[in-house]
């Protein structure tokens, strides 16, 4: 069981570099996060929540972390630039009481607040302390197969006043969004000249309030 938690499959005999590169690529969903709209609620330092989403190879960079502010709760709102099939999560913290002890995942509820976390999550995980970023938590893929927005709620830690997270890894597949609204806009734009002609002829009764 322990070997599986480290993600070593039958391909264990391959040279380490190759396996690391392959593993790093698997954890590339951080590239698909819409950084402009990424939110971390209750972060002590503004913008620090975004730093935990970085390349798998850089998970050991201890200078980048997020710490909670008023209490031990943290809530991430993570919009993606397309549709994601989320397969696994890594959560890495300190080997002490600041490490999050529970993770609750919600899908497609943009701009969640702490009030919204009273809702039933798609999946809840009991976390183990993972100071080296090795433990992978598999998601119920059927529930996370069409995710354009992921919320991660960390309600409690192992007993400290604040929670610290150094790295969050997201593993899965990304598909480009099918933007229906774009095609509609284009259609309207090309129809506009005709509309204007009609409006010139038609009495403007529909503008009278």
132-136: list long-range contacts, CB under 8 Å, 24+ apart.
Answer: 132/60, 132/92, 133/56, 133/59, 133/60, 133/90, 133/92, 133/166, 133/167, 133/169, 134/5, 134/6, 134/7, 134/90, 135/5, 135/90, 135/91, 136/5, 136/7, 136/88, 136/89, 136/90, 136/169, 136/171
* 48-95 pLDDT tens trace: 999 999 999 999 999 999 999 999 999 999 999 999 999 999 999 999
Structural domain boundaries of the chain? 37-174
Single pTM value for the model = 0.77
Characterise 47 by phi-psi region: left (phi > 0), alpha (psi -120 to 50), beta (else). left
The answer to whether residues 151 and 106 touch, using CB atoms and an 8 Å cutoff, is yes
Question: Where does the pLDDT of residue 21 fall: very low under 50, low under 70, confident under 90, or very high at 90 and above?
Answer: confident
Of the candidate CATH numbers 3.30.365.10, 2.60.120.470, 3.60.21.10, 3.40.50.300, the domain formed by 37-174 belongs to: 2.60.120.470
* 192-204 pLDDT tens trace: 555 554 455 445 4
Q: Label the pairing between strands 137-138 and 102-107.
A: unpaired
* 173-189 pLDDT tens trace: 999 876 655 544 444 55
- Residues 129, 27, 165, 33: what is their CA dihedral angle, to the nearest 10 degrees? -150
* % of the chain residues with pLDDT over 90: 71
């Amino acid at each position: 069981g322990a070997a599986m938690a480290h993600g070593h499959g039958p391909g264990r005999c391959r040279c380490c570099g190759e396996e690391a590169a392959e593993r790093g690529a698997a954890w590339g969903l951080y590239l698909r996060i819409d950084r402009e709209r990424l939110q971390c609620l209750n972060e002590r330092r503004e913008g620090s929540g975004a730093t935990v989403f970085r390349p798998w190879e850089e998970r050991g960079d201890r200078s980048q972390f997020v710490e909670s502010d008023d209490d031990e709760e943290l809530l991430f709102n993570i919009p993606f630039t397309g549709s994601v099939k989320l397969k696994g999560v890594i959560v890495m913290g300190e080997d002490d009481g600041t490490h999050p002890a529970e993770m609750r995942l919600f899908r497609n509820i943009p701009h969640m607040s702490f009030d919204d976390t009273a809702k039933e999550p798609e999946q809840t995980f009991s976390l183990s302390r993972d100071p080296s970023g090795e433990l992978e938590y598999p998601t119920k893929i059927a529930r996370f197969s069409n995710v354009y927005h992921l919320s991660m709620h960390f309600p409690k830690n192992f007993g400290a006043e604040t929670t610290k997270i150094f790295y969050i890894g997201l593993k899965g597949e990304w598909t480009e969004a099918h933007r229906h609204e774009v095609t509609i806009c284009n259609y309207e734009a090309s129809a506009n000249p005709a509309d204007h002609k009609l409006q010139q002829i038609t009495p403007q009764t529909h503008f009278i309030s």
